[in-house]
Structure 1
């Protein structure tokens, strides 16, 4: 029986290595396909204030790290906010930390929030401008309702000061995650209703060719400072340091997206306008 258990473990380890190898090859190949040429300069957000709404921890770095840096560079850190809509309690890491299954929902949420806040600090977002919406029962629709209220508060506060806001959320149509699409629809619906005045929507790189050229908006880390900040934020999500509350939960769940981002020397963020049908 001992020999059989040993053989099963060896087979399992070989399977894990094989899957990891396939994922790595796919990430490199896709990363090469979607590699973006270097921009001469980044576009400028229309709003005086820019608010990003990642649905889960790490979304904002994977899909918008260089966009966040561009907003900080042009609008100033005081005018850039990141609102975490959900702490992503449903994450299912492939290679779980040893104690992961024993953690309560609250403990998992705390781990993911710690990683998110560490990444935001590395990215240069002011701590007072980091907002975490509490995961509420019975499900994600409640978080979307709070996301809507939060967006309206930003819009009204800015309007009262004679200023404008650009809201940046997930794509409402070009995403394979229904929660991401729901997140985008919150902002798109506010725009369609005339309750907000400007919005952009980030996409995963594999959807890049689904966006008409005129509706694609690209941002890149064009300076050493911006590049270092995005890499530091990536590191906050990918390193394991339990004493600092870092367990790389997001990275363990979808490592290929981190590899794809780092494969791009310019750390490109791809967004689209609200003109994309959906």
Structure 2
């Protein structure tokens, strides 16, 4: 170094070229095992049990060998059988289920998961005049993603029993649910929050509620559902933001995987969830008995 100026360039450069050590390795992304057979069955049971958080009753029926879901009268569409565990399918088993459900004043309906339900069940139902009403795909992940940074004016809130009514109201606004379901849905939400089987999140933008998501903690898993954004704030990344928050919270709670379900044809949602690392686990459909 000279006394009257900066050191020459040669003194600032290393004497030998810097080389990457031979032992250095590139970053390897961790791999995650796909869901086991038992985890897939747990996801099926968890999916079927989500109406618990809206005030429904879910019971295991030993005679019918399935779960029976019975909803509040004010919340339609929550009556069905699921997680069928028949050793083999038969018309007699279907007839027994139909008779039981019709006697209760409900329309016979079954949630049937591909590759988990007894072999031949969907074919038998179709032959008996049942029809499938919509299909969805359950997606899973074990990898927590980084929560994206969005508008600094956004505020994330964990829903409490005191704020449950506001959350439920925003859900009805987003999903177009009738006002007549409010009381039953709010009661179920409050009970689940108090029991610790459910967490719920709400995003505000400049004070206005704009997005919601529920995190169900049943069956030892983390189930995400009720993910929605108000119409005039969609395509701003809010859905991905709140999904990432809930997914990270579920995995941080010690659950081995997080899952969610997306309707066929909802390509925007499917693309979003795949970008967050979710992968297909199984497909399922809801089957309805024919009118008498």
TM-score after normalising by structure 1: 0.31
Relative contact order, CA 8 A, sep 6+: which one is greater? 1
Please identify the structure whose Cα radius of gyration is greater. 2
TM-score after normalising by structure 2: 0.30
Larger helix fraction of residues: 1
